[in-house]
Amino acid sequence: MPPTGLNLTERLPFEKWVAIGQLLATSQSSMAWCLGDWLIHGESAFTGRYREVIELYSFNYQTLRNYAWVARRFPLSRRRDKLSFGHHAEVASCPEAEQDYWLRRAEEHGWSRNRLRCEVRASARLRSAAESDGSGDDALKEAAIRLSPTAGQLEIWERAASNAGVELSVWAVQVLNASAGARGAAGALVVDDPDRTR
């Protein structure tokens, strides 16, 4: 990578310009992972000395800390190379099963980082609304149903939810409410996918 930028000719074909953009986007994402891993190693192997190096190269320490925080939440074996560092950062604060769920959805549907953020926030709003629905009994406010569907079942459920234009958790609550004769309740459902990669 040139240290001061790109000198692109006016005759550069569109296809090559797109390929350069793809390379730069991939490089940016992998650089965030690499810098996070680098800082984690420096903190443990060179305690007290690694900050001198950070200052020597004018790194923004807080940015590096953010990269390291995400890298700690996703060991190499759980990182999805088809998704950006930003995708992983969006779900890094979630429990591991939820991280895997959202990243799998983003990968399957080709979601941008911003679309993933919107989906995660919409799900959180639904959960929050369900928890504060004023049911009165704190012990009953939060109920979790944990399922372990087969890959085939999960695929059928996700297709049904997609056809209904809602997230799987919303669809599941709607189906359960319809079966029970209830109306208008919202909630969240965590689905354990036995096929997820660890």
7 assigned to some structural domain: no
For 26, the domain range is 14-73
The pLDDT value given to residue 140: 39
82 assigned to some structural domain: no
Counting residues of the chain whose pLDDT is more than 70, the rounded percentage is 83
- Number of structural domains (the chain) is 1
26 assigned to some structural domain: yes
106 assigned to some structural domain: no
Short-list 113, 134, 11, CA closest to 70? 113
20 assigned to some structural domain: yes
Longest dimension (CA), the chain: 69
pLDDT digits (tens, 9 = 90+) for 82-136: 999 999 999 999 999 999 999 999 999 999 999 999 888 888 887 777 666 554 4
* Residue found under tokens 């000395």: 49
The pLDDT value given to residue 24: 85
Query: CA 187 to CA 73: how far, in whole Å?
Result: 26
Q: What integer is the mean pLDDT of 41-53?
A: 84
Q: Which of 59-68, 76-85, 131-140 has the lowest mean pLDDT?
A: 131-140
By the 8 A CB rule, do 85 and 33 touch? yes
23 assigned to some structural domain: yes
Query: CA 133 to CA 155: how far, in whole Å?
Result: 31
* Residue found under tokens 């319809």: 178
* Residue found under tokens 């940016």: 28
Q: What is the mean pLDDT of the chain?
A: 80
57 assigned to some structural domain: yes
Q: What integer is the mean pLDDT of 13-31?
A: 88
Is 138 a residue whose pLDDT tops 50? Answer: no
Angle at alpha carbon of residue 133, lines to 130 and 136, rounded to 5°: 120
111 assigned to some structural domain: no
Confidence of residue 150 (pLDDT cuts 50, 70, 90): confident
